[in-house]
Structure 1
């Protein structure tokens, strides 16, 4: 394995280990929290969708994720799966 490939592999492993989608950050979520504060905690969402003032945003993938539902720009409810 070349030094370049080894360096790239190391960076990928470190990025995966530093995911903000984890149990510690999930425990910090609270109903009524502003959307900007959630994004400060979790980073930019993977995807968002919504209608009529209700927005749902997800962080992570189909196995490990945090999902937050907003009314306006305040957390209404949230859920998570596969968090460590």
Structure 2
């Protein structure tokens, strides 16, 4: 294997390892977790919207893998995921 091929392979593996939207992290989510705990696990959300103490945030994108979490008073109420590996 050439040096260039090894470098490209290493970079791909590193990028894959950095993706926090995965089945392992999804399985760590629990109802009642604080929004801060979720952000520590998954990083900053891709988008959030809400009103009156309720919010819905998502991580990732719907074309690949994503996690969607609904919060009530900044605590996990419901969560779902799709395309997780």
Q: TM-score range by the shorter chain?
A: 0.7 to 0.9
Which segments of 5 or more consecutive residues in structure 2 lack a partner in the other structure? none
Q: TM-score, normalised on structure 1?
A: 0.82
Determine the C-alpha separation between the residues in 1 that align with 2:60 and 2:10. 21
Corresponding residue of 2:42: 42
Corresponding residue of 1:56: 56
| TM-fit CA distance, 1:15 | 2.0
Q: TM-score, normalised on structure 2?
A: 0.81
Q: CA RMSD in A?
A: 1.9
**Secondary structure in structure 1 of the residue aligned to 2:78:** strand
Which segments of 5 or more consecutive residues in structure 1 lack a partner in the other structure? none
Moved over 4 A (4+): 7-11
